[in-house]
Structure 1
Amino acid sequence: MCLPVLVKNIARLRPSLSDSVAQTLIHAFITSRLDYCNGVLSGVHSKTLARLQYVQNSAVRLLTRTKPWQHITPTLIHLHWLPVKSRIHFKTLLLTYKSLHTIAPQYLTDLLHPYTPSRSLRSSDTGLLSIPRSRLRTVGDRAFSVAAPTLWNALPPEIRNAASLDIFKSALKAHLFTLAFGP
């Protein structure tokens, strides 16, 4: 079943649902599908992202009973939900962290290579990754082997060097939240 149909079905039931039950349904049927394998959507066309963002916005409006003419950004901030593009970056960076710390499957770990400059530089110990060249800008830059190091190298060093997965997740979400909505 497609996402807009799920939103409509939950909307029909919404008057008889409590807020907690509505939130559970939205997380179970909508946000879980938005997040499932969304790392594949890295670098996807903005028109596709806009459609997915529309579904997320509809789910937020349904959950909070926000009117269609009201801005959705304050509601997203209140719920502490990342926009779809930031959720995709979160998933890609999480897989990158897991790959670098041997928590992810070996085939992902094999795609990432540490940056080693040809001569001694200050950047050699900063935990950067080497970004391979891609033949095709549209498709090649979307590959995990290119997108992950690009996003990873853009992170502040204190996030890249997080001591544990939980610390990394919370710091990364806070960073992406700030990038998406401002301080």
Structure 2
Amino acid sequence: MQTHISFIIKTCFFHLRRIASIRRYLTHDACVKLVVSLIFSRLDYCNSLLAGLPASSIHGLQRVQNAAARLRLRKTKRDHITPLLRSLHWLPVNTRISYKLSTLVYKCLNDSAPEYLQSSLDLYTQPSDRPLRSAADPLRLHIPRSKLASAGQRAFPSAGPSVWNSLPLELRQSPSLDAFKSM
């Protein structure tokens, strides 16, 4: 995955430099459209495959997002990035990955995802010999054991339920996809 990530970073910084060279001639709306179409389309494309990667691998993608925020708001690299991301309502890259995975799991559980993804998720079943506290959680998913510690835990059947089970119960019980996305 490192070669894929480094290619994305290289391509995004290339486009950011090109946008920065013409930034003074662009309106605010045109700059927003260029950043979203050239940068975020690359950051968001198949980013659920990056779930479970170490922070050192994701850090380069976060640098791209930070540079895009600074370009869009005409800030220098000395300006603190967290308030800029909040003002733009942009999630950090790690959170974007978790958001995409949890949305995909929500679609699987509500029969609006492809069958091959739906069949890879199982609801957690309570052991019959002893009661557990998790019995009160009806939407808990079973996390299968994987033979490979690195790639197996990053696969959708393991990563999806891990992210889903970490969400609050109220969020998992959302009545619609729009309500789920807005919470």
Q: TM-score, normalised to structure 1's length?
A: 0.90
Residue identity matched to 1:157: L
Q: Which residue of 1 aligns with 2:24?
A: 15
In 2: Cα distance, 1:66 partner to 1:72 partner: 9
Structure 1 stretches lacking a partner, 5+ long: 172-183
Residue identity matched to 2:18: N
Matched, 1:155 2:155: no
Q: Which residue of 2 aligns with 1:177?
A: none
In 1: Cα distance, 2:84 partner to 2:101 partner: 25
Residue identity matched to 1:123: S
**Could you say what secondary structure the match of 1:103 adopts?**
coil
**Could you say what secondary structure the match of 1:2 adopts?**
helix
In 2: Cα distance, 1:46 partner to 1:121 partner: 33
**Could you say what secondary structure the match of 1:166 adopts?**
helix
Alignment of 1:1-183 (within 5 A): 2-119=11-128, 121=132, 123-124=134-135, 125-171=137-183
CA RMSD in angstroms comes to 1.3
Structure 2 stretches lacking a partner, 5+ long: 1-9
How far apart are residue 123 of structure 1 and its match? Answer: 3.0
**Could you say what secondary structure the match of 1:76 adopts?**
helix
In 2: Cα distance, 1:76 partner to 1:96 partner: 26
How far apart are residue 3 of structure 1 and its match? Answer: 1.0
In 1: Cα distance, 2:48 partner to 2:116 partner: 15
Q: TM-score, normalised to structure 2's length?
A: 0.90
